[in-house]
Structure 1
């Protein structure tokens, strides 16, 4: 498919012969490569949508329920009812065995012994013995120190101060300092000034000579650098021209005329091929669905409609309905027979009681009386008549009057 008519025309990159030449083969190749991928993708998507809701979600919920029932709930019960009480018991036991004895030993043994056996005697010893001894020793040492200081000041400090003031200071002043000051002012200062003037003149001459040499050297080096720069500039221009001509221009032409059109055509071909593959995949899917419908669905529907439905109706009308009616009639007959048997047993009990006790109409207290029933074919209520079904398979009376 050529969709170049629907694409905006780029005036900088016209539709060249190379583009037209590679467009159709590239799209054919890309379609051949993309079509299996698209069909596999559509097949996987359809399979996922088919099994997601009816299979995967119930399976996930079932696995979650199994995990909750078989793993999380037992673990929670184990943690709550076993591990937590066990940890509390172990903690209490460890506290009782390792912490409380040491606390009691510290509180009731070590602290009283240290307090009343060591601290109290030491405090009493310090307050009543060491403090007075310390005060007395301090007074004694104070007196001794004062005497020693007076002796030191009298025997050492006063003679040393007199020696420094009256001997050493005059000797150092008039024997050393005054001659040195005269020597510095009268001899060393003029000599230093002359030496400084000589060195200044020498430095000025040296600086002037070095300046001339530096200017000449700089002029020579500047000329050399200008020549090198001009040569390098010409070489740079030549190398740049060569690189642009031999590398950049061909690469730019290759990118603009070959790589960009090929890449664009490949991208467009991939897009078009993906769309065409989608159409083909949808057509294949519809064809498979049509085949499945006409090969399996239609025959199955025809068989259900033509064979199974009439057969089911025949079974329902010919077998199931008569069997159900016969079962209902049999149930009614059985119930009627049971009612007749119960009434017969009651009548026999009444007759036996009359024979044993006597009396024409005597009845035993608490003897159950028969429920009056209506006979078939009449409206007369007879006390000794048993109930009978109004519908009978034989069409005759099953209960006689007593």
Structure 2
């Protein structure tokens, strides 16, 4: 089992490979190290710009767009939807319920049903009887014509079959003789073409294949091996040089980072901790926190006032709707007539008793005739 997992032994390398490897790696290292240092510097600068500039700018633009564009559009959309519901939806629903549906039901559907039941259905039954009688006559006539045509076709088929058999026999004999002649001619032509093809193949083999094979084995194959070795060593040298340049770049970056921290980061941190943080904490605790609490109390009071105003408006609208509904019902009853409407039970009374609920005002005692009058 251990022998199965052992790596295969390395093949011995030629002198050409060893002679090319060292100078190629030196040259590539000299060329790649500045490129790698420049690449790492540009990448570090790009990451710093992204963290310090692009990301905060993107967040600010997103907040600005959401505040100035999205929120106003959402409020505008809600307002348009409500306006469309009030100005379009409610009138259309009223027209559909009180105009379109009765017009369709009593102006179109009921007359159409009556016409179908008392006019079209009897006419359809009568036309069905007439069509059934006509179809029976057509079927009887077609059966007679088909029988006559079948008898005539059988006689013609027998005669045409006898003539066709005789013609087919003559054509078969002639075709067999012509096929035999063509077979003899084809075999002769095939022998001649085979001889010519063999000669051409041998001439092409001698004039083209043998020289090309010699040139491939003696010239192209060694040249290809040399080019492959140079390309492989160059690629390997680029890989080694890039890794070495990466180690050098990381070491240089760590040194610059330590130097920048010692020269700028440590003094800035000391100034922040010693001077800026106490001043900001004092401003937060002394100025910002009381202002924020006062603003919160004012906002809570405004919200409560708006909620109370909204409840009052909703109750007023509900009362107005109830009054309009009762007035419409009384007007319809006065115009069309109908049984007298019973007065609605006052919400202060409990069901099935004369006792009132706690804290409710008792309903006024009004007679039925007075209410309807």
Q: TM-score, normalised by structure 2?
A: 0.44
Higher relative contact order (CA 8 A, sep 6+): 2
Larger Rg: 1
